Amino acid sequence: MARLNQIIAVEKGIKSASFQEISEAHHVLQKPTLLSGIARTYRPKDEEGEQFPPESTRVQVRAEEVVRQTGEVLTRLFDVTATKDWANCKARADVMVDGNVLLKDVPATYLLFLEKQIVDLHTFVKKLPVLDAAETWEYDASADTWATEPVQTVKTKKVPRNHVKAEATDKHPAQVEVYHEDVVVGFWRTVKFSGALPAKRVNELLERVEKLQQAVKFAREEANSMEAEDQKIGGKVFHYLFG
């Protein structure tokens, strides 16, 4: 009696070999020349007539034999798949996280589903947006989001000024240079908001996902280590079909 994980390991190979052998059998049966044979002898009309040697071609493929071999090949596949499926009905294990039972008596097939889903969840959590570490964030309940402390900045306006380079004289007008001066006209109060998550929160979620991922793997291994009772289904099927 083999364990379920051993049956799972060999099933893929048997399935692949069965498909190849069935394909070859189907291909062979489509060649009439391999199924045909002939035997010819020649007798001249009279004793002085020319003699010809006998001719013969043997039948290379017998359909009944191919049917029998096909039944044998598929019987192995039907049996190992039945053994796996029957065992899967009984294969169960608890998913334990931090010493506590999170999920009890989970079927092996569902554990396999969980394992694949958690891989996608890990990718999802790993790509969650994280708050900019260059800012200091506090949760703002009124805005239901994260916010920075208010930062005040000045609003300036360029005001033209005159700079007299030379006073006016009787002969020349005054030489005046126009320049612009930045004058404070007001103040900006800025608060930044973000819907991203703190890095600590993302790391906590990742840790939980990875713990569950490990727990599900352990549970699947435990479920698949149960003994699988051999099932002999194929013989009955092909005795009916080809017997």
- pLDDT, tens only, 10-20: 999 999 999 99
Output the furthest CA–CA distance in the chain (Å, rounded).
157
Tell whether 74 and 154 lie within a shared domain.
no
* Contact indicator for 2, 228 with CB cutoff of 8 Å: yes
DSSP 162: E
* Contact indicator for 131, 196 with CB cutoff of 8 Å: yes
Residue 131 in any domain: the answer is: no
Tell whether 184 and 240 lie within a shared domain.
no
What is the predicted pLDDT for the residue at 198? 96
Residue 74 Cα to chain centre, angstroms: 30
Taking each helix axis from N to C terminus, what angle separates 4-29 and 199-224, rounded to the nearest 10 degrees? 70
Residue 113 in any domain: the answer is: no
Residue 86 in any domain: the answer is: yes
Tell whether 240 and 158 lie within a shared domain.
no
Residue 224 in any domain: the answer is: no
Tell whether 3 and 77 lie within a shared domain.
yes
- Tokens linked to 93: 């294990």
Residue 144 in any domain: the answer is: no
- Tokens linked to 215: 């727990």
Residue 85 in any domain: the answer is: yes
What is the predicted pLDDT for the residue at 166? 73
Residue 162 in any domain: the answer is: yes
What is the predicted pLDDT for the residue at 163? 80
Tell whether 64 and 2 lie within a shared domain.
yes
Distance between CA atoms of residues 130 and 140, nearest Å? 17
pLDDT, tens only, 197-226 = 999 999 999 999 999 999 999 999 999 998
Tell whether 160 and 84 lie within a shared domain.
no
What phi, psi does 177 have (nearest 5°)?
Answer: -110, 130
Tell whether 79 and 5 lie within a shared domain.
yes
Per residue of the chain (243 residues), what is the pLDDT tens digit? 788 889 989 999 999 999 999 999 999 999 999 889 999 999 998 888 899 999 999 999 999 999 999 999 999 999 999 999 999 989 999 999 999 999 999 999 999 999 999 999 999 999 999 999 999 999 999 999 999 999 999 999 999 888 877 777 777 787 878 888 899 999 999 999 999 999 999 999 999 999 999 999 999 999 999 889 999 999 999 999 988
Pairing of strands 151-166, 175-190: antiparallel
How many domains does the chain contain in total? 2
Residue 161 in any domain: the answer is: yes
* Contact indicator for 76, 234 with CB cutoff of 8 Å: yes
What is the predicted pLDDT for the residue at 197? 96
The domain containing residue 164 runs over which residues?
150-190
pTM recorded for the entire structure: 0.67
